[in-house]
A and B are shown apart, each in its own frame.
Chain A
Amino acid sequence: MVEGAIKYTIPLALVSFLIGVIIALLTAVMRLSSMTIVRAPAVFYVSAIRGTPLLVQLFIVFYGLPSIGLTIAPLPSAVIAFSLNVGAYASEVIRASISSIPKGQWEAGYTVGMTYGTTLRRIILPQATRVSIPPLSNTFISLVKDTSLASLILVTELFRKAQEIAANTFDFLLLYTEAAVLYWIICFLLSIIQEIIERRLERYIAK
């Protein structure tokens, strides 16, 4: 089970989250655009992902796509589905964080000669990052637990391992409790990392 966690659950969550955050950043910036043609696809994407169950998204990628000739192995399928899912949720977090930075910061960037992109990168995002760490940590912790759904598309991650062992020994309570404890430990460690990051980013904030 621990092997399933180390070989699949943690890497799956980590890779999906990283890809998801990149998608989210792009989507958030698109949603903040004043041009409808840029904003509309982002709005559509977020609405579609948030409006459908993750399990259904996972099944579409793994079981659905082969019927149009696109067969993807279990693990990559899971990465694709989870990344797209996290991308939509995290984009809302990032969008809100960017919007929470006072307009004066944009203007200050512009008046030292920066373009929109430079101001976003040098001035706004570093401040928005601090704001978005707590909600993004939530998203990440949810994702770690959601990876258990990958067991349903044959990824031998933590929960699938528990099921396999339980199928032979019939120790359902013991094994599923053990799985639960493992998820809890991972999430507990993550919340400690979250705290360390928050403390580091808060050094320039008045206490």
Chain B
Amino acid sequence: MLLSIQGLQKSFGELTVLKDIDLDVGKGKVVTIMGPSGSGKTTLLRCLNGLEIPNQGYYQFHDGFTLDFNQKLSKKEMLQLRRKSGMVFQSYNLFPHKTALENVIEGPVVVQRKDKQSAISHAKQLLSKVGLEDKMDLYPHQLSGGQEQRVGIARALAIEPELMLFDEPTSALDPELIGEVLGVIKDLANEGWTMVVVTHEVSFAKHVSDHVIFMDGGYIVEQGNPKDVLEQPQKPRTKQFLKRILPEV
């Protein structure tokens, strides 16, 4: 296991949005989180890298790094948690004042203090990998949504995280641009990256992921291998949801 989570709970004021979450993320595995909006799936993803701080819960990483959210954690521990993962946002959140290449080298050069030349050559490799070798010097506003999102993926990969997190990476895209982004994520899965993906793309979940989590009302309702959860769901809530989002055949 790359990361093992036990008893995660998160509330915003009075409102509890995540309850009794236990989750294992295997090394090199792709975990997809599905569920209706408001089910807590994005919050769960954001808890994994500390953008949201859980109120309770226990994280154990494979390298022995542990976090106990029942106690107050230091800034240093939170920073250490954040630096374990790279994040791809629904709305890309590229730095608009930097070119594609500058977006990608920002983490390695500024945070990891890598030599600029080697960071640039690594960034060029990553941008080629996502199919943007000819767009490196363009600013985000000069790119299409799909291109922006692929820069976002390259930027997250550049810090060489142990875990890649995707928050509905294709939800803001025009339908014809979804494929190019999913294609990149699929390549990463084949390369053995450990990933947690929040998505509504059932076919992606079925064919690319190793483990599917279905959430509703802040709980994990059902989880297992994608074929079981998506083709023979056990819980009524899962059945109902899948019926609604899958086109009638």
Contacts and interface: CB of A to CB of B under 8 A. Distances in A.
Interface of A: 102, 104-105, 107-108, 110-115, 118, 122-123, 126-127, 130, 203-206
A123 B51 contact: no
A118 to B, nearest CB: 6
Contact of A204 (B51, B87, B91, B97): B97
Nearest to A204: B139
Which 3 interchain pairs have the tightest Cβ spacing? A112-B107, A206-B141, A111-B87
Nearest to B78: A110
Contacts of A115: 75, 79
Contacts of B82: 110-111, 113
B86 interface: yes
Given A108-B93, A111-B87, A126-B97, 10 more contacts: A102-B93, A107-B89, A107-B93, A108-B89, A112-B107, A112-B111, A113-B159, A203-B139, A204-B98, A204-B141
A99 to B, nearest CB: 17
Interface string B99-139: 00000001100111000000000000000000000000001
Interface residues of B, number: 31
Contacts, number: 66
B212 interface: no
B13 interface: no
Interface string B135-158: 000011110000000000001101
Contact of A104 (B83, B89, B139): B89
Contacts of B91: 104
B96 A111 contact: no
Contacts of A205: 96, 141
B94 interface: yes
B97 A127 contact: yes
Contacts of B89: 104, 107-108
B209 interface: no
Contact of A105 (B75, B93, B142): B93
A113 B83 contact: yes
Instruction: Kindly name the residue among A104, A113, A205 whose own CB sees the greatest number of chain B CB atoms within 10 A.
Output: A113
A122 B93 contact: no
Contacts of B85: 111
Interface in B154-177: 155-156, 158-159
B180 to A, nearest CB: 21
A144 to B, nearest CB: 29
Interface string B43-73: 0000001110000000000000000000000
